[in-house]
Structure 1
Amino acid sequence: MEIITVTKKNIGSEHICCAISNDNDCQVSAKKTWLAERFDDGLVFKKGDVRGKCFIEYIPAENAWAPVEADGYMYINCFWVSGQYKGQGNSSLLLDECIRDSKAKNKKGLVILSSDKKRAFLSDPKYLVHKGFEEIDSVDPFFKLFYLPFEKDSEKPGFKDSLKESLKKTNSDDGFVLYYSHQCPFTAKYVPLIEEVAREKNVPFKSVRFQSREEAQSAPTPFTSYSLFLNDNFVTNEILSVKKFENILSEYGF
């Protein structure tokens, strides 16, 4: 498999959006716009020369849309190899390319968000450990920060103190609050759908879209692509369909 680096010049013609095959889909346009606006911040998007889930996306941690302290590191936004492209060495191919590129840019290492076990939309911690990553920090309910230092004496990264303080809030009566960005293309389609469900059912619901790295770096959640809270308590980072959101409403008595 050949690796293609997506740039401002070829983003219009390259397939970049996960399982979304229709390039005219609103999700594709939202993601491509988000990417195009980040390239000047050092964002890199590398993919296999296929139309499918086989890519890695990373950015200098200072510009990451995440509440982390990791100056000098490269932050991996998303790393996804799935379906027919698994089990063929493609994950190693993409990760090795990320490491090579990051070392060439004199980075201290890599940082990536994961969890206590394999969960939707987060990198598999078992795979990360297998590739030499170490857990370096954690916040409730299950988020883990992993890093791969290039030198043994590299300064260790971590979550921002502001994140840890914001997660201590409890007993709010704000109802549902959804924090999200267009870093993940699926939000462009599914956020409006569940907003409409909340309106129809008269459920207290507010959505907060991060539109700058400064906003995302001050977020009350480490997963700024999509995090749903109820009265300050974390509910899920899984991007919800209408059916799944209705199930959550039923579970919480709405």
Structure 2
Amino acid sequence: MFEIIDVHNGNVDEKGFFCMRSKPKSKGYQNKLAWLKQRFQEDLKLKIVEEDGQPKGFIEYMPSEVAWRGINGINYMIIHCLWIVGRGKGKGYGSILLEACINDARLQGKSGVAMITSSETWLADKSFFMKFGFESVAQAPPCFELIVKRFDKEPIPRFNVGWDERASEYIEGITILKSDQCPYIEDAVKIILEVAEERSIRSQVIDLTDCEQAQRAPSAYGVFNVIFNGRVLTYHPVTKREFNKLLDISGV
């Protein structure tokens, strides 16, 4: 038996938010929990699919005007994350969650649903969404695609282009622009700062505290951007070895 749980301020402390559920006392988990409690007041939706009482995946989405991705849109629903793991895969749970989001958007009178996907890592690939009537409408470096499912002929969301110009504002050393939207970011920041110290590279961390800052970040992912000497090195958490390799490639 499976069940779709609508998570909100009234039950999030009990149900959690799927990610890092084995480490509820960690800083990353607690930061995300606090972030969610604020976002629920801005109409963020979080749905978890449970099988026999065990969580197998989730979907998180919110209105385009307040979404935490590098896009600009009016009257759309933006999916932040859709994730099914382990033995939950292949049972149609992803389809059920996506259809729930689409139906919710229709009921709210939205003009459609959009999501940023990636052909590489950390974000979902677009192929699954194409089966539900999504179409690719734009690309952004290094590997992002904006996909949209339209309900009407109103203007669709667009990328907030100008990535290189925004990254070039941070020209010295390593700058980490991060939010609490993803609980894994906290540990990723620690790794990057350790590498910076070991290599005697100047570093700084800047918190993204509202959706406007995330929408105008130097990458389309928005909520996590690691910049070295004016260029984005990664938008997703990496291991210590991976980050050292990125710096080596950059000529440090």
The TM-score with structure 1 as length reference comes to: 0.89
Shift of 1:52: 4.5
Shift of 1:8: 0.5
Shift of 1:17: 3.4
Q: Does the CA contact (< 8 Å) of 1:70 and 1:158 recur in 2? A: yes
Shift of 1:19: 4.7
Q: Partner residue of 1:103?
A: 106
Q: In the aligned structure 2, how far is the partner of 1:252 from the partner of 1:102? A: 43
Q: Partner residue of 1:234?
A: 232
Shift of 1:241: 2.7
Q: In the aligned structure 2, how far is the partner of 1:223 from the partner of 1:142? A: 10
SS at match of 1:192: helix
Q: Does the CA contact (< 8 Å) of 2:166 and 2:218 recur in 1? A: no
One of 186, 194, 197 as aligned partner of 1:196: 194
Aligned residues: 248
Shift of 1:219: 1.5
Question: Which 10-residue stretch deviates more, 195-204 or 87-96?
Answer: 195-204
SS at match of 1:34: helix
Q: Does the CA contact (< 8 Å) of 1:15 and 1:51 recur in 2? A: no
Q: Does the CA contact (< 8 Å) of 1:113 and 1:144 recur in 2? A: yes
Q: In the aligned structure 1, how far is the partner of 2:20 from the partner of 2:245? A: 24
**Structure 2 residues without counterparts, runs of 5 or longer:** none
Q: Does 2:11 correspond to 1:10? A: yes
Which residue type is aligned with residue 157 of structure 1?
A: P
SS at match of 1:62: helix
Q: In the aligned structure 2, how far is the partner of 1:61 from the partner of 1:47? A: 21
CA 99–159 in structure 1, closer or farther in 2 if over 3 Å, else same: same
CA 238–93 in structure 1, closer or farther in 2 if over 3 Å, else same: same
One of 212, 215, 221 as aligned partner of 1:214: 212
Which residue type is aligned with residue 164 of structure 2?
A: L
Question: Which 10-residue stretch deviates more, 70-79 or 51-60?
Answer: 51-60
What are the equivalent positions in structure 2 for 1:74-153 lying under 5 Å apart?
A: 74-115=77-118, 117=119, 119-151=120-152, 153=153
Superposed CA offset, 1:62-85 (max 9, x none): 011123221000011111112111
CA 11–251 in structure 1, closer or farther in 2 if over 3 Å, else same: same
Q: Partner residue of 1:69?
A: 72
Which residue type is aligned with residue 101 of structure 1?
A: D
Q: Does the CA contact (< 8 Å) of 2:69 and 2:223 recur in 1? A: no
What are the equivalent positions in structure 2 for 1:4-43 lying under 5 Å apart?
A: 4-43=5-44
Aligned-residue CA RMSD (Å) = 2.0
Q: Does the CA contact (< 8 Å) of 1:8 and 1:36 recur in 2? A: yes
Q: Does the CA contact (< 8 Å) of 2:28 and 2:184 recur in 1? A: yes
**Structure 1 residues without counterparts, runs of 5 or longer:** none
Identity within the alignment, %: 29
Shift of 1:104: 1.0
The TM-score with structure 2 as length reference comes to: 0.90
Which residue type is aligned with residue 68 of structure 1?
A: I
Shift of 1:51: 4.6
Q: In the aligned structure 2, how far is the partner of 1:24 from the partner of 1:176? A: 28
Superposed CA offset, 1:99-124 (max 9, x none): 11111111111010013x2x221121
SS at match of 2:162: helix
Superposed CA offset, 1:178-198 (max 9, x none): 222110000122212321331
SS at match of 2:225: strand
Q: In the aligned structure 1, how far is the partner of 2:187 from the partner of 2:54? A: 20
Superposed CA offset, 1:189-248 (max 9, x none): 221232133123211333222111122122222112222232332322221233322332
Q: In the aligned structure 2, how far is the partner of 1:87 from the partner of 1:12? A: 29
One of 162, 167, 174 as aligned partner of 1:165: 162
